[in-house]
Chain A
Amino acid sequence: MSMVYDSEYPVPMPPIIWDNMGFWEGIKRHELVFQRCKECGTWLHPPRPVCPKCRSLEKEWARSTGKGTVYSWVTYLESAHPSFKAPYSVVLVEMEEGVRLVSNMVDISPQEISIGMPVEVVFDDIAEGLTLPKFRKAG
């Protein structure tokens, strides 16, 4: 089971601003990228103008392995927005790089999700101009 959308209601578009643009450009190319500090190598997510560890302004968009584990998850039994049909689950994935990302799972029922489950990224082209990084259970 994956997220089911109601075609009558557009999915809320992610507000894209200068600080997070690189992330969404990567997703459009089907690449999961995170900010990485050029000075100290710290991986950053959500993206920020300054590295909170070394305060450098120099950062790059670096490719993630796309692999991680479920750190926590919830199941919406009442939808929070008409474009998403309940029930649906939202996961917090801890990536191999150490950063965490809010997302959805594909091809799995909410009952099968568990903390610590290994997952890998997939790209879901859900609407014209909107691709989302989602996760499936890894082998």
Chain B
Amino acid sequence: MNSMENRAAIVGIGVTDFSKDSQRTELYMTCQCIKEALDDAGLTPEDVDGLVKQTDDATDEHAVTSSMGMGNLTYFGECRWGAAPSAMIMRAAMGVAAGVANYIVVYRAVNGSSKRRMVASMRASGQMSTSDLLQWTFHAPFGHMSNAGRVAMIVRRYMHEFGVNSDQFGWVPIACREHGARNPNGMFYEKPLNFEDYLKSKMVVEPLRRLDYYEEADAAAALVVTTRERAKDLRQRPVYVLSAAQDMLAETEELTSYYRPSISSLLEIGKVGNKIFAMAGVAPKDINCVQLDDSYGPLVPMQLEELGFCKPGEGTDFCKGGDRITLGGELPLNTSGGSLGEGHIHGMNHLIEAVRQIRGTSTAQVKDAELVLVASGAGGPASGLILGGKS
């Protein structure tokens, strides 16, 4: 048996408002949502003995323990890149399964809208990792410097190989905004989008339009993870981590995996999908809704293909018209709005929403949702998980 298989549960969630300017520090927002997540679970900061953060997060663990009065941390760790959200839950689930901690808080706070972006400022100050240097050396002198541009290179090749027109990518942001329009906590409440709006959206890095990528946000989220057994004694209906996995290959780069035989598929997502379906003992047809990485909308059809919801090259057809991927359809996508329709906090809101769906508390609730899949890190190192209402 894989040690990740159905050993842990998410028992508390907390999330701040999404805004263009939080007027708060990341530490403040972190404490705010951890407090909410612990209250939600019926736990106190004294109960917490583990923390998992995103590597680039501005808030260090010791700042959290000091602020929150957590006196007994026996486990702390980090996860990187867009793959972090699901991987952080995996890390926490491993921690409680191994018994090194009992109640682990996973957190992430970003002032992604009001503050200069972390990555840009790291590069400006010359603090780069070796892998960043490799990317930067061969891309920056040619003006290939935005993440949207990096993704656009992959998207163009995908369009070429499968005969896709860039207009067909519109149904993903439209679906996310339809769900986001129902979510009063997000940035697009009562602001849906139609296909004409999408077509009018300006091209920023051809073939990507402005509406093809995330909306920068200031917000924070936290989740509490414990063992399946402990979860039963807490305040909320436990949401079980039925499976979780990470994947990275020899030629994986963050958004620029340009040097392998094919760049028109998200291989890491596919491998994650194989693992999490097998581990949870379920198939794509069993999944009630998905929370996929919509930092870049055109990568969503590719994720649907890799995860087995449709065949290679059929992702845009699957999304066409939006019926399948919106509430009432066979596979509602990003039901809180996600990065395109709620706000971009690097995929943390996707985890929160997956928990809400199983609890039955989403603003775009899928009837009797019992199995929800989350994917993190499209176009680079990836992770994913399947949450379930029954252990």
Give the interface of A toward B (CB within 8 A): 3, 11-17, 19-20, 45-46, 52, 71-81, 83-84, 88, 90, 92, 99-104, 110, 115, 130, 132
Contacts and interface: CB of A to CB of B under 8 A. Distances in A.
A76 B207 CA distance: 9
A46 B134 contact: yes
B142 A104 contact: yes
Interface in B172-212: 202-208
B138 A102 contact: yes
14 contacts: A11-B141, A12-B141, A14-B136, A15-B128, A17-B137, A20-B137, A45-B259, A72-B154, A74-B208, A77-B202, A78-B204, A80-B144, A90-B142, A104-B142
B133 interface: yes
B202 to A, nearest CB: 7
A90 B143 contact: yes
Residue from B133, B134, B143, B154 having most chain A Cβ neighbours under 10 A? B143
B125 to A, nearest CB: 13
Contact of B205 (A71, A74, A81, A102): A74
Interface class of chain A by DSSP = loop
Interface in B72-122: none
The 5 closest A-B pairs by CB, nearest first: A80-B145, A84-B143, A72-B157, A74-B152, A75-B206
A16 B263 CA distance: 26
Contacts of B1: none
Contacts of A76: 143, 146, 149, 204-206
B258 interface: yes
Contact of B206 (A52, A81, A100, A110): A110
A79 B141 contact: no
Contacts of B258: 72, 92, 100, 102
Contact of B160 (A72, A74, A103): A72
Contacts of B206: 74-77, 110
Given A14-B137, A76-B149, A88 B143 contact: yes
A5 B7 CA distance: 57
A14 B143 contact: no
A78 B204 CA distance: 6
Contacts of A15: 128, 133, 136-137
B145 A81 contact: yes
Contact of A75 (B136, B146, B160, B205): B205
B327 to A, nearest CB: 34
Given A74-B205, A78-B204, A130-B141, 11 more contacts: A3-B143, A20-B137, A46-B138, A71-B157, A73-B156, A80-B149, A81-B145, A83-B143, A84-B143, A90-B153, A103-B142
